[in-house]
Amino acid sequence: MTTAAKGRGKAGSHLGDDLRGAGRLAIDAVSGVTSIVESMHRNISGLAPALGKPRQGPAKGIAGLVYRSVRGVSRLVGHGLDAGLQLAKPLLAGKQPPPLRDAVVAALNGVFGDHLDRSANPLAIPMQFRHGAQALELDAASLSGALPNPGPHLLLMLHGLCMNDRQWRREGHDHGAALAQELGYTPVYLHYNSGRHVAENGRELAALLQQLVDTWPQPLASLTLLGHSMGGLVARSAVHQASAEAHGWTQLLRSMVFLGTPHHGAPLERAGSWADALIGLSPYSAPLIKLGESRSAGIKDLRFGRLIDRQSSQDRHRDTRAMAPLPPAVRCYAIAATRAPAVEQRRRWPGDGLVPVASALGEHRDPRRSLAFPEDHRWIAHECGHFDLLSRADVYARMRDWLAAERSGG
């Protein structure tokens, strides 16, 4: 369990926690911006060369005193605000938070989630299984009461970056609910902090899944993982680490379905990384790198699709990730999306707006890095955006047909 999760109740956060978390984040932002301005002041007043390394250390003299005072007052205000809201928490506690609140907090976690986790901010999302936007208690009696007819075929749904479990429902459709109705799966939805490293989320999920399997109300016959975008990377990371640690639930894993998963990365994150490098060429602009680097570890992992290790600062622009092949004896399916119509030649397909077609299909210029999806386990949705994968009827039909054939022994 993460640091933030330990300090939070199982029912999730309410208005009091939200206000405390927002207050802490605001104070952190003031402190961070103060440091950036101080660094720029130091380099400009010190007449640093236009190119080269920035000067190190705090500003000196009166300027240094001013910056230290700003940080000190910010911390003092922050501690006072946090203490006051903690005392008022019983008065602010409410019912289940609305979907808009969950969406905003999920977006914050996607962008700043590693910082929220490290600072034990109440806005940090603790990893948990949910159903109907309610957290599931991992014991047989609670699961029987919370899930409608929990059956022997478990379907785990993993959302993507900056999203949450409620957002599987789009335009009135939810892949999990539809598969439950047509194929008899019992869907459970993962809710997690998508700003943490993919490897950290994968490790925690591997352990949490074992608890879920051990407390399932009846013997399980199969487990299926369905991941959208980053959720697919978290699923692969969990399987890889669970196999290395000999978790028993891997023996139940029958299939994995990936919707728009950036198996080999997303170009927008790479563009952000190169922008950081260009800004850092001058000591006058170098302090601004902190703004770009404030994006979360989870976002940075999307640069190349890193899922079982961490990136070193020297390897920001090189694909040095440890590779994890698709798990043997598990049927794996990949669906990519492109905004192009089917009549265009593939070399002109632009991807879904976030993830290139080749990355979603596990293809790589280096054959050793390509993922071995069988040809009939890959499919491309045309005139489809990244988030349309959650609601398109033809995408659902393709998944349903694959899983139905598998269940029937086809």
276 lies in some domain: no
Shared domain check, 134 and 95: no
Shared domain check, 65 and 208: no
Q: Are 226 and 156 in contact (CB under 8 A)?
A: yes
Shared domain check, 169 and 45: no
**What total number of domains does the chain contain?**
2
Nearest alpha carbon to residue 307 among 389, 197, 229: 197
Q: Are 352 and 383 in contact (CB under 8 A)?
A: no
pLDDT of 72 higher than 80? no
Alpha helices in 149-305 (DSSP H): 175-183, 198-214, 230-244, 267-279, 289-293, 297-301
For residue 295, give the DSSP letter: S
Of 66, 84, 101, the residue that ends a domain is: 101
Of 86, 101, 116, the residue that ends a domain is: 101
Average pLDDT, the chain: 78
Separation CA 201–CA 195 (nearest Å): 9
Pairing of strands 253-259, 331-338: parallel
Burial of 185 (0-12, 13-18, 19+ CB in 10 A): buried
Label residue 183 by pLDDT band (50, 70, 90).
very high
Q: Which residues pair with 169 in a beta bridge?
A: 174
Range of the domain at 82: 3-101
Q: The domain spanning residue 373 has which CATH number?
A: 3.40.50.1820
Nearest alpha carbon to residue 113 among 43, 164, 77, 44: 164
For residue 384, give the DSSP letter: -
How is 97-147 classified by DSSP, letter by letter?
Answer: PPHHHHHHHHHHHHHHHHHHHHTT-TTSPPPEEEETTEEPPSSHHHHHHHS
Shared domain check, 362 and 228: yes
Provide the 3-class DSSP secondary structure of residue 90.
helix
Shared domain check, 31 and 145: no
For residue 216, give the DSSP letter: -
Shared domain check, 250 and 139: yes
Shared domain check, 212 and 326: yes
Burial of 361 (0-12, 13-18, 19+ CB in 10 A): buried
Q: Are 140 and 215 in contact (CB under 8 A)?
A: yes
Shared domain check, 134 and 77: no
Report the phi/psi class of residue 273: left, alpha or beta, with left for phi > 0 and alpha for psi in -120 to 50: alpha
325-341: average pLDDT: 95
- Helix (H) / strand (E) containing 380: strand 378-382
Alpha helices in 251-362 (DSSP H): 267-279, 289-293, 297-301, 357-360
Q: Which residues pair with 224 in a beta bridge?
A: 155, 255
pLDDT in tens, 21-70: 555 545 454 444 434 344 444 444 444 444 445 455 554 444 444 434 43
Provide the 3-class DSSP secondary structure of residue 254.
strand
Shared domain check, 71 and 142: no
Separation CA 324–CA 306 (nearest Å): 10
17 lies in some domain: yes
Question: Over the Cα atoms of the chain, what is R_g?
Answer: 23
Residue count (the chain): 410
pLDDT at residue 24, rounded to an integer = 54
**Is pLDDT larger for residue 378 or for residue 119?**
378
314 lies in some domain: no
301 lies in some domain: no
294 lies in some domain: no
**Is pLDDT larger for residue 92 or for residue 231?**
231
Shared domain check, 141 and 87: no
Q: Are 109 and 195 in contact (CB under 8 A)?
A: yes
CA separation, residue 112 to residues 30, 185, 299, 309 (Å): 15, 34, 9, 20
199 lies in some domain: yes
Amino acid type, 353: G
Q: Which residues pair with 334 in a beta bridge?
A: 258, 378
Shared domain check, 256 and 374: yes
pLDDT at residue 175, rounded to an integer = 98
Shared domain check, 133 and 80: no
Residue 72: other Cβ atoms inside 10 A:
11
Strand order in the sheet with 153-158: 134-135, 128-131, 186-191, 153-158, 222-228, 253-259, 331-338, 378-382
Q: Which residues contact 393 (CB under 8 A, 6 or more apart)?
A: 173
pLDDT in tens, 110-162: 878 888 898 888 888 999 999 999 999 999 999 999 998 999 999 999 999 98
pLDDT of 407 higher than 60? yes
pLDDT of 256 higher than 90? yes
